[in-house]
Chain A
Amino acid sequence: MDKVVRCKGICRVYADDAYPVQALDNVDFEVATGEFVSLAGPSGSGKSTLLNIIGGLDRPTSGSVYLGDVCLNQLDESELSDLRLYQMGFIFQDYNLIPVLNALENVEFTMQLQGVHPGERTERAMATLASLNLDGLAHRRPAELSGGQQQRVAIARAIVTKPKVLLADEPSANLDSKSTESLLALLRQLNQEQGVTIITATHDPLVMRYAGRRVLLVDGHIDIDDSDSIDNAH
């Protein structure tokens, strides 16, 4: 199976002269194409740090990160921006939709940054919204949507560009249990039907249950890595 993400000997130390904090300690971690991986662990275990390093939002103190064959360590700020734009999708805990744009425009946003032709852009955005049952809400602004609806718009924005990896940081943190179930069903459907590789960082046992592979981080290193990972990959 192709490895879409490879982390080798990742260390991340948050520099503080008096009390340096070791967020990740020599982590080796790989994700195969089509996997649905859940990074779990208590607060401060390093799961979000690892997710941010994979997403190119943070840089490791030592070690190497690869997305496909591209070594993220060797990319400058602009190249990392392009990598996030063209190859990754992000789902944030607080949805982070742009309040002045409606749902359709939010989904079109990353495609506009990519320079996709307006006609194609709208067509793809509407199709993605329809696949998430949001086509009736396309012209509503985030403030006019519920939390679950906003999170689904955020997912639409993340997947519309067909990224190599979808990174979700605590995607259920602000959702009730019903919306969480609905979100996870959607993520699993994307994973199983469209083969989207998903990596989530979460506290939520429900999210872990939906993931095909569970990785538990404790004190900055991997404590348990679900051995079924390969079997769950598509």
Chain B
Amino acid sequence: MPLKLLLQLSWRNLWRQRRRNGMMILAIIVAVGSLIFTNALIRGYQYDMLEDSVLNLSGHLKLLAPGYNEDPSIMSHLVIPQAFRLAIPDEEIYHWTSRIVVPAVVISERETRGIQLVGIDPKDELKMSFLAEVKILGRMLADERDQGVVVGKQLVEQLDTRLGRRIVLMTQGADGLNREAGFRIVGLFDAPGTSLEKRYIFTGRGTLQSLLDTDAVTELSVRLKAGVALGKVKQSLRLLFADLDILDWKELQPMAGAMFEFSDAIVLIWFVIMASALAFGLVNTLITGVMERVRELGMFRALGMRRGAVLLQVLAESLLIVVMGLLCGLVFGYLLVYVMQEGIDLSQFAQGLEAAGMRSIIVPRLMTQDLILVSVLTIILGFLASLFPAVKAVRINPLDALQK
């Protein structure tokens, strides 16, 4: 059957039942548009979570001494030579740094808490972690030899102390013996969530090395440029550092990793729910169309149209409805994302959201892969939904149809 005839009949039949087909197209537009928008919200949440995880000292990848991840202490350490350079191409790597992260006890005049003591180079950290983005009351560490500490606001409240006061930090040294020293609080950081504020105390890397009596560090943290394939970089690092543990952010923060994967599943589950509802409507519309045109389809067969051509005819009409709805739906979805590009402010639920690893403002993130996914799946769905009516049309006996 010539393509022109197929499209001509399909297009004109579309207008023959304009109200019914119009309603169907409208339903597809709303479904596709809302799918695009909700997917964009889910992606916004998902990638906010990724970014937060990366900035919360994980980086995209970490190189750790074997065993450190299971039992973090200075006993599992890395010795980095002077002038060490990470052999990753510049177009892939955004920045990297080395840190010492050890468990410690902080003691104020009134309280004691368990924390993670982190020795950093502040210059690097401004490109690697949340410290670049948070408000700091007082001052940030000046360099890796700075002997002050920067503490979270919440922790300071828990310790019942304040900026400028001294605290004592106690941890295990490289020789296995306990070390303790007094530090002055030079800065208070105000992070987006309270957990970071309660968990970390920052000091200069060199200062902490002196306290622990070591030249080593406990981790190399790597932040990649946007769009760089994590798996590929991880693989090349494995070849370079076969004796180290190389973990990505999902392995370092399994809960966040699981939520990230689950978000992918949610996108698909949401599509299946919407698409199923849509499929029933589509099948119903097409079946009605076929049943109304039994005589006409029988006449096509009587005049010599082959069964395959009748099948194509019904499929073409269906796919035309689906494609029109899909295209308009994509535009509708894009417009919804555009209108909401500043994000949805959920700050009144901020505490609950933090527990779920979410920011208080969700900014929709439109991803090409989702547009392609929704488009391809919608067309496949349209095809599958129209198979039943199309087969029904094929089974029409021309003689019976003409006698109706």
Contact = CB atoms under 8 A, between A and B. Distances in A.
A78 B305 CA distance: 9
Interface residues of B, number: 24
A18 interface: no
A58 interface: yes
Interface string B1-22: 1101100110011011000000
B305 A81 contact: yes
A42 interface: no
B13 A100 contact: yes
Contacts of A77: 307
Interface size class on chain A is 20 to 34
A153 to B, nearest CB: 14
B25 to A, nearest CB: 18
Interface in A62-111: 77-78, 81-86, 88, 90, 92, 94, 96, 98-101, 105, 109-110
Interface in B245-264: none
B302 interface: yes
Interface in A143-167: 157
Contact of B307 (A78, A85, A90): A78
A113 interface: yes
Nearest to B403: A48
Interface string A200-225: 00000000000000000000000000
B303 A112 contact: no
Contacts, number: 67
A119 interface: no
A232 interface: no
A12 B307 CA distance: 24
B303 A85 contact: yes
Contacts of A92: 299, 302, 402
A52 B301 CA distance: 13
Interface string B111-135: 0000000000000000000000000
Contact of B2 (A81, A98, A112, A157): A112
A98 to B, nearest CB: 7
B103 interface: no
B302 A57 contact: yes
Nearest to B5: A112
A136 interface: no
A115 interface: yes
Given A81-B301, A92-B402, A112-B2, A101 B307 contact: no
Given A85-B304, A90-B302, A113-B309, A98 B296 contact: yes
A96 B299 contact: yes
Nearest to B10: A100
B295 to A, nearest CB: 7
Nearest to A93: B402
A113 B307 contact: no
B343 interface: no
A188 B322 CA distance: 49
B306 interface: yes
B234 to A, nearest CB: 57
Contact of A84 (B1, B9, B13, B304): B304
Contacts of A82: 304, 306
A199 to B, nearest CB: 15
A78 B303 CA distance: 12
B52 to A, nearest CB: 57
B16 A109 contact: no
A82 B305 CA distance: 8
Contact of B304 (A86, A94, A96, A98): A86
A57 B9 contact: no
Contacts of B1: 112-113
Contacts of B5: 109, 112-113
A225 B39 CA distance: 75
B192 interface: no
Given A84-B303, A115-B2, A99 B16 contact: yes
Nearest to A85: B304
Contacts of B299: 92, 96, 98
9 contacts: A57-B302, A81-B306, A84-B303, A85-B305, A98-B9, A101-B12, A105-B8, A113-B303, A115-B2
Interface of B: 1-2, 4-5, 8-9, 12-13, 15-16, 295-296, 299, 301-307, 309, 398-399, 402
User: Which 4 interchain pairs have the tightest Cβ spacing?
Assistant: A85-B304, A100-B12, A84-B304, A96-B299
